Structure 1
């Protein structure tokens, strides 16, 4: 149990999605032109699919989307107090939005959604057939966030100011965007580390995960690689949430002022737990020391 965390110490902002998981049949995949291990964004032809999967199959709901997954895992690692993690994002005023709010609450995350009526709540259907999972995401409302109507409100800005650690998932291919002209992870980490920085009092720490390869961290001139925890192939259920889980584990220690080495250890632990479960789900309590 943590004695270092205060409520709302960790702040995350991103695209909230309601994950809808179900075991489906081949006919369902064929109807919507899906391949067994797809990861795609929904097109017009998939719009009916999210309602149909709920009507036709036994579904499980989870609060999803990369940043929301990460703060959810961080809160799980911290356990107490509840609501250390705050989350902002945009949802629709609809049934799926209502379920998403319930699921965030069950995860003890302090979610404050901007609710609007133009677009439905973002969803991600995980269609399971045998050992395969086909993921179809419909961002919808997640793209409709309005800073001036939500972030700028005094009561919401108070939560931003209350936080000590901020996390926003950035999906851009960073090195290419920065014109680094190298694919060597250690080299990219070094170059990212030396980019101009606003706050000169605190050095930048750069951490890159590489799946089953080691995690690379640069601190000052030092580049270190940390091996991930080993796992038997037969125990791996689903690797989809592993990256989000690593971030969540890392943040859970960062917000408690632990060393970066401890943060990475917690990240590896959380990722190792998540890949043993379907979706970004986990047992009731962590076993991390």
Structure 2
């Protein structure tokens, strides 16, 4: 079938739990921190599933965004590709994605577990411990299998998070999808993902950005790229304008650059025009968790854009709306399908 949006990246099953301080102390975790799991933390995931009530979320940034886009799209509009293992965590992830209306086409590997992220909640604080594992094993050979490439060919828009380019399979797959998008005049969209990506993978990032018709990022990611590019400016509006002018493979589309700044105005650049879009403030008493708000913003934006909405102000407003839903909930989650009514006009 034809999908409005195909997203690709590194899938992680978020395992969320309200935990006791003694668990934090046992592992030496500090509230509101984040880390990659070492050998010491390998038993953490089974421990929280055994000892605490948990909530499973089909995570990883691009998968969060695809779920957010589906919130505004007709049923069966979104599909996601990434790599998981053949284990209980993959089963939970597929179930969680399905509950948000997201179709999944996971590559299955046997030798490592599905990527997971423990989301440990203590009061209003969060600690994240990620075990990337299978999520970094996606191969371009899998993408190019006839049954998977048909999905690429049928999709109308693409979304890739820059985390995907940090491993060889994801980088090669990003280039393959970007080339297809440019040749067929489909929208290829990309998120800068984290400030360190531009620092550690500048050449790979530039190679994939060459295909990017829409670039998303936050102010820290924008400034990180500005630094490595030698632009000598921290002004987000100026950086957005420079981004919009970078060369791109598909000259039939102007590049759209969208930089969020938390509760501050969102910056959009198209060609040599830069606009700003205020964020409707959410009362501090309503904010539960800001984790995943940026992913939700991209989902809302693309949920409208992939339906052919050309008014970028409306797309930004949709992004703000979905991000607002996220921060009122624990983790990058969205209201259940049955509650998705009364969506406003943007």
Asked whether the two chains share a fold, i.e. TM above 0.5, the reply is yes
User: Pairwise mapping of residues 226-241 of structure 1 onto structure 2 (< 5 A)?
Assistant: 226-241=277-292
SS at match of 1:197: coil
Shift of 1:262: 1.1
The question of 1:109 aligning with 2:102 is answered: yes
> Which of the residues 275, 278, 281 maps onto 2:330?
278
The question of 1:198 aligning with 2:267 is answered: no
Q: Which runs of 5+ in 1 are unaligned?
A: 1-5
SS at match of 1:235: coil
CA distance in 1, matches of 2:15, 2:109: 21
CA distance in 1, matches of 2:232, 2:47: 46
SS at match of 1:87: strand
Query: Residue 216 of structure 1 contacts residue 224 of structure 1 at CA under 8 Å; is this kept in 2?
Result: yes
* Structure 2 residue aligned with 1:141: 134
SS at match of 1:121: coil
Query: Once the two structures are superposed, what CA deviation does each residue of 1:180-238 show, in whole Å capped at 9, x if it has no partner?
Result: 22211011101111111111121111111111110000112211010011111111000
* Structure 2 residue aligned with 1:66: 61
Aligned length: 281
Shift of 1:273: 1.0
User: Pairwise mapping of residues 66-215 of structure 1 onto structure 2 (< 5 A)?
Assistant: 66-78=61-73, 80=74, 82-148=75-141, 150-170=142-162, 171=193, 172-173=197-198, 174-215=225-266
Shift of 1:106: 1.4
Give the TM-score taking structure 2 as reference length.
0.79
CA distance in 2, matches of 1:142, 1:111: 14
CA distance in 1, matches of 2:6, 2:226: 25
Query: Once the two structures are superposed, what CA deviation does each residue of 1:78-126 show, in whole Å capped at 9, x if it has no partner?
Result: 2x2x221110000011110111111111111111000001210011111
* Structure 2 residue aligned with 1:224: 275
> Which of the residues 39, 46, 51 maps onto 2:46?
51
Shift of 1:7: 4.5
CA distance in 2, matches of 1:74, 1:288: 15
Give the TM-score taking structure 1 as reference length.
0.94
SS at match of 1:136: strand
* Structure 2 residue aligned with 1:262: 314
Shift of 1:281: 1.4
